[in-house]
Amino acid sequence: MAKTLIFGHKNPDTDTICSALAYADLKVKLGEDAEPARLGEVNKETQFALDYFKAEAPQLIEKVEDGAEVILVDHNEFQQSVENINQAKITEVIDHHRVSNFETKEPLFFRAEPVGCTATILNKMYKEKNVEVSKEIAGLLLSAIISDSLLLKSPTCTEEDVNAARELAEIAGVNLEEYGLDMLQAGADLSDKSALELVTMDAKEFTMGNAKVEIAQVNAVDTETVYAIQPELEKEINKIVDDKDLDLFLFVVTDILNNDSEVLALGEGKGKVESAYHVTLSDKNRALLKGVVSRKKQIVTVLTEEFSK
Amino acid sequence: MAKTLIFGHKNPDTDTICSALAYADLKVKLGEDAEPARLGEVNKETQFALDYFKAEAPQLIEKVEDGAEVILVDHNEFQQSVENINQAKITEVIDHHRVSNFETKEPLFFRAEPVGCTATILNKMYKEKNVEVSKEIAGLLLSAIISDSLLLKSPTCTEEDVNAARELAEIAGVNLEEYGLDMLQAGADLSDKSALELVTMDAKEFTMGNAKVEIAQVNAVDTETVYAIQPELEKEINKIVDDKDLDLFLFVVTDILNNDSEVLALGEGKGKVESAYHVTLSDKNRALLKGVVSRKKQIVTVLTEEFSK
């Protein structure tokens, strides 16, 4: 029988990659037949973490076979998952997002908790199963928490995440603040990215009310540098809006030093951004969202409510 | 702020009622503000358990307010839940069923495990939280396991359920086999039920492929006694099929002594029962399904697959 594949969402981020690697490690140590996979390119931030802790990126997969046993980490919404997911046998989900557009034919093991990062749940699971977290795995789990919490500053970050991060930094043998800032800055180096890469590298699609919305987010040290190529960004986004028949595409550039986001909104539903955040989009279709850094907690929930009105 | 309501599915069974009571007990002992509720009449089997362990049935509710904080036990599919559930704030789900027709706007605590009974998961949660299970709660959790597993004989019953049942019988101070058979027989006393009550008392609605299917199940010591009023049963079922525009209504009479089910299938999709189980419906639209006792594992999954072909 084929091994159970463990993977996170499309356009993988550090939590998705590191949680797949860690959960496969835990499963193997428990004597189960599992292996990690990924659904897209490893980004620079994640590559920095993998290099630092001498880990290999998991295999790239594009689709799964009918009936294949799979475990989802860090996501549950089918449109964010692998091709053919609705024909796979999902045996487990470990996640920290809302539950939506997900269903199974049979009972499964589903564990979602409202914490800042999947890695925080996995760190708990190692303890529950009495399996020691190795230095390498500690480094990967820590990297995931730093990434999802923007170095513990995001409103999604809970006390559990903070405690897990401190504990894991100790095992990994790194200084949390120093390592964290180095990792985030490696990810915020966007100098070699094309406009198309910028708007797709961390894009996720959502159904909100009756609307189809895509939200892409990049971290930057200086948001203006990203918008230096705004005409090209808009060209790519408009193409995506047309191709996918989206109501809204929101491009979010998050300033990792000031913890704000400068967003670009395109599509017929862009007025929803104005009403949801009480801002006015500039003639460049942009607005500064003060203190907004979390797509999940400060954007998806707010826009879902607005589109459901 | 209002207390968090904890409730199971419509047409409550013993697991749904006892799990709501037990989880509210655990929450209160952990210092949280929660209270149990139910969405329908307590059946005879559950009443036997409540009387035996001197517990009160939770309050009956019909709908929840917009934004009310609620915890779902023993179900997640919205069509099996309380009226207005899609406007409530679901903070937790503890369940052992497939996940389907469920979604939230925000991350939540969702714990589903493929075990035979929600009470088995709750028994584990008491341990994880270091809260002692009282004699009364042990009796209720035990009753739930006996009910869902048909005294540990259903194919849904796992080793975890068996171990939990043995452990809880000890705390509750009862003989598992004796108490279990008494409880099941109390539930199988259908002598005072009208045809309408029989076909609605434990009915659940499912979406299967594009089909709307309702499955009602009753336990009996002698299935023929139930079918003595088959014309009346059919009349009531046909009314429900028309009212709800169902593709199939499957009435399942489970023989608790022989562990088989005699089913009655009505609706345009009744042929699916024949193809799924390789049986031929008699001219009375009935068939004996040998060894079939679990709606979840032996009926819902089988028919969902058939309707999805």
A98 touches chain B (CB under 8 A): yes
The predicted pLDDT at position A257 comes to 86
State which H helix or E strand residue B36 sits in: strand B34-38
pLDDT digits (tens, 9 = 90+) for B64-95: 999 999 999 999 999 999 999 999 999 999 99
- Taken in order B226, B229, B234, B240, the sign of the CA dihedral is negative
- Taking the CA of residue B97 and the nearest CA in chain A, the distance in Å comes to 5
Q: Report the alpha-carbon distance of residue B140 to residue A181 in Å, rounded.
A: 52
Residue numbers belonging to the annotated binding site of A for Mn(2+): 9, 13, 15, 74, 96, 148
Sole residue written with tokens 């004796």: B178
Orientation angle between helical segments A135-149 and A176-187, nearest 10 degrees: 60
The predicted pLDDT at position B283 comes to 87
Interface contact flag, B99 A98, Cβ < 8 Å: no
- Taking the CA of residue B79 and the nearest CA in chain A, the distance in Å comes to 14
Q: Is B122 buried (19+), middle (13-18) or exposed (0-12) by CB count in 10 A?
A: buried
What is the value of ipTM here, to two decimals?
0.85
Cα first-last separation, chain B:
48
Q: What global pTM score does this model have?
A: 0.87
Cβ count within 10 A of residue B246: 21
When mean pLDDT is compared across A64-78, A139-153, B39-53, B295-309, the lowest value belongs to B295-309
Cα first-last separation, chain A:
48
Question: With bands split at pLDDT 50, 70 and 90, how would you rate the model's confidence at B1?
Answer: low
Nearest CA in chain A to B307: A105
Alpha-helix residue ranges (DSSP H) falling in A62-175:
118-128, 135-149, 159-172
Question: Is the pLDDT score of B296 beyond 90?
Answer: no
Facing residue for B296 by CB, picked from A104, A107, A108: A107
Q: Is residue B278 part of an annotated ligand binding site?
A: no
The predicted pLDDT at position A1 comes to 55
Q: Is A159 buried (19+), middle (13-18) or exposed (0-12) by CB count in 10 A?
A: exposed
Q: Is residue B243 part of an annotated ligand binding site?
A: no
B97 touches chain A (CB under 8 A): yes
Q: Report the alpha-carbon distance of residue A50 to residue A45 in Å, rounded.
A: 9
Interface contact flag, A103 B107, Cβ < 8 Å: no
Average pLDDT over residues A15-40: 97
CB A63 within 8 A of CB A83: yes
Question: Is the pLDDT score of A67 beyond 90?
Answer: yes
Cα A86 to the chain's mean position, in Å? Answer: 21
B108 touches chain A (CB under 8 A): yes
Cβ count within 10 A of residue B149: 25
Question: Is the pLDDT score of B191 beyond 90?
Answer: no
CB A199 within 8 A of CB A240: yes
Delineate the domains of chain A, giving CATH numbers in brackets.
4-188 (3.90.1640.10), 195-308 (3.10.310.20)
A243 touches chain B (CB under 8 A): no
Using a pLDDT cut of 70, give the percent of chain B over it. 100
> Of B174, B171, B125, B127, which Cα lies nearest the Cα of B151?
B174
The predicted pLDDT at position A213 comes to 97
Sole residue written with tokens 């949801």: A276
Facing residue for B98 by CB, picked from A101, A105, A296: A105
Question: Is the pLDDT score of A159 beyond 60?
Answer: yes
pLDDT digits (tens, 9 = 90+) for B103-121: 998 899 999 999 999 999 9
Question: Is the pLDDT score of B15 beyond 60?
Answer: yes
3-state secondary structure at position B66: coil
Facing residue for B111 by CB, picked from A101, A111, A304: A111
Average pLDDT over residues A142-150: 96
Q: Is residue B15 part of an annotated ligand binding site?
A: yes
The predicted pLDDT at position B105 comes to 87
**How wide is the angle at C-alpha B21 spanned by C-alphas B16 and B27, nearest 5°?**
120
Average pLDDT over residues A191-201: 93
> Could you tell me which residues are beta bridge partners of residue B99?
none
Residue numbers belonging to the annotated binding site of A: 9, 13, 15, 74, 96, 148
pLDDT digits (tens, 9 = 90+) for B246-282: 999 999 999 998 899 999 999 999 999 999 999 999 9
Facing residue for A110 by CB, picked from B104, B110, B305: B110
The predicted pLDDT at position A105 comes to 87
Question: Is the pLDDT score of A211 beyond 60?
Answer: yes
The predicted pLDDT at position A309 comes to 86
Report residue A12 as tokens.
Answer: 């993988």
